[in-house]
Amino acid sequence: MNFSDDFFDDDFFPLFDDEKLKTKVQKCKEYVSNGQTITFLGNIEDTIQLCLEYDFTEDGIFLTEAALEISPYSSELWHSKGIFYNNLFEFDKAYLCFEKSLSLNPSDAEAMINKSIAEDNLGLWDESINTLENALAIEPNNEEVLFNLGIFYQRKDYFEKAVEYFKRTVEIDTEYGDAWYELGFCYESSNKLDEALSAYQKFLDIEPYSASGWYNFGIVYLKMNSYEKAINCFELATSINEDFANAWYNCGIAYSKINRFIDSRIAFLKAFEMDPFDDLIPLNIAQSFEATGDYDSAANYFRAAIKISKTNLDAYVGLGNYYARKNNRDKMIEYFSKIVKYTLYNNFSDFSERELRNHLEDVNKEIDIYNNSELNIEDYFKLAELYIEVGRWNDAILTYQKSLKYKSEISNSFYGMAICHFMLNKNEDALKHLLHSFSLNPGNEFNFIDEFPYFESTQLYIKLTDSI
């Protein structure tokens, strides 16, 4: 039997459905199991290529290992096996396969590209860039090598260097859409917005039905304050992909910039359907209701934002202003306190767990030094601040009180005690201490707004500070 004629039809590489490919794979496995690998090796190798093209990864590895038993010195088979492992994110195994492939064919630029991908994912960045540069030395006009060098530098935020490689890529192949797209991204990230528009336009000329292309085009227009053009782009993106949450969201942002709050709300609500776990979306829905005077609906969405993220300070401000409009003093103080708390919390949110642990250990050591020393008034201030850093609010209050024995009207002591009382939910005491510190030193109010900028010009702050 002529296996090639029976096993493959004339449309071998065009589109397969999964069942048809599964049948071919199963036939090859049967030949391997029956000890006929050498007889049908060419057909097995062709099927391996199909497995690469259609992501039949596990089957591809099985067939490749069988073929390698017959042809252990085939650089192509080792290369294919490495690609399968790359696709499985088993980069250590992929790396060994590419090493073997290149030992058999040292000038294979495509194998070098794939080896560099494995190296990059293993954190071997110097080796990765060196591998790509070696490939470029062999094939200086290989657009895939140039493109991958551009991607490498782009991911490291070396945008100018990345631009050089992407530009060389499109000089060789003007229809290389991905290179135009990444070139646009690099220009956008470098705030070269006109160049970004030009690159994205080139991409869209090649890929006119790319939702992400229209989305990025819209983002650039949004950054340029060209809101109507941005809206057109985002609406095109959502017409191509109705589930594109970010496009709906930024369409809402663009509409809100031109005060079309009902349209913005429609877009935000669509985004919220697609992504119910992003607190910024209900926040913006709330603000659109607020802008049209529907404060009760706004409050509901501010609460929804807080339910997703308890540190969403804009939502607390929104609810604080909502209760200020209703003259609900207890709720005003409650949300005033929350803004103080979560502002302080966010000050530490950028710390890693290890960094935070080391910082707290250092602060506690410093506290021990102060507690074993004779203290003057300045030392008491410093010790109280250290207690605040580690969340020992009651100890901080006691320390501030000790400072007042030196002088009974020290504005910074009352200011510090106010912060501590807020953290302990003693909100009435906190507010009285805070306003007293302002009366002793008006400059403290500026310090407070500087430390807690979310209060600036809010109804909540104005009404509450005028209430005592």
Task: Determine the residue type at 180.
Answer: W
| Residue 408 in domain | yes
**For range 180-193, the mean pLDDT:** 98
pLDDT digits (tens, 9 = 90+) for 272-319: 999 999 999 999 999 999 999 999 999 999 999 999 999 999 999 999
How many other CB atoms sit within 10 Å of the CB of residue 61?
20
How far apart (Å, rounded) are the C-alpha atoms in residues 115 and 15?
Answer: 28
| Residue 386 in domain | yes
How far apart (Å, rounded) are the C-alpha atoms in residues 111 and 83?
Answer: 9
- Residue 4 reports pLDDT greater than 70: no
- 137 contact partners, CB below 8 Å, separation of at least 6: none
How many other CB atoms sit within 10 Å of the CB of residue 209?
11
How far apart (Å, rounded) are the C-alpha atoms in residues 446 and 442?
Answer: 7
**For range 181-187, the mean pLDDT:** 98
| Residue 53 in domain | no
Look at the chain and report how many structural domains it folds into. 1
246 vs 11 pLDDT, higher one = 246
Give the per-residue pLDDT at 93: 98
Cα angle for residues 406, 412, 417 (degrees, 5° grid): 95
| Residue 158 in domain | no
| Residue 385 in domain | yes
CA 351 to chain CA centroid, nearest Å:
17
| Residue 340 in domain | no
Give the per-residue pLDDT at 356: 84
For residue 433, give its domain range: 353-465
Which domain CATH number covers 446? 1.25.40.10
Least confident of 116-120, 275-279, 406-410: 406-410
| Residue 382 in domain | yes
How far apart (Å, rounded) are the C-alpha atoms in residues 255 and 294?
Answer: 18
pLDDT digits (tens, 9 = 90+) for 92-106: 999 999 999 999 999
Give the per-residue pLDDT at 18: 79
DSSP annotation string for 253-315: HHHHHTT-HHHHHHHHHHHHHH-TT-THHHHHHHHHHHHTT-HHHHHHHHHHHHHH-TT-HHH
Q: How confident is the model at residue 397 (pLDDT cuts 50, 70, 90)?
A: very high
Cβ-defined contacts of 418-425 (< 8 Å, 24+)? 419/340, 419/344, 419/388, 420/388, 420/393, 420/394, 420/396, 421/393, 421/397, 422/336, 422/337, 422/340, 422/341, 423/340, 423/341, 423/344, 423/391, 423/393, 424/393, 424/394, 425/337
| Residue 300 in domain | no
Q: Enter the pTM of the model.
A: 0.83
pLDDT digits (tens, 9 = 90+) for 417-438: 999 999 999 999 999 999 999 9
Give the closest residue to 202 by CA, choosing from 191, 216, 192.
216
- 319 in Cβ contact with 299 (< 8 Å): yes
Give the per-residue pLDDT at 467: 57
Mean pLDDT of all residues belonging to the chain: 93
How far apart (Å, rounded) are the C-alpha atoms in residues 233 and 202?
Answer: 15
Q: How confident is the model at residue 82 (pLDDT cuts 50, 70, 90)?
A: very high
- 183 in Cβ contact with 199 (< 8 Å): yes
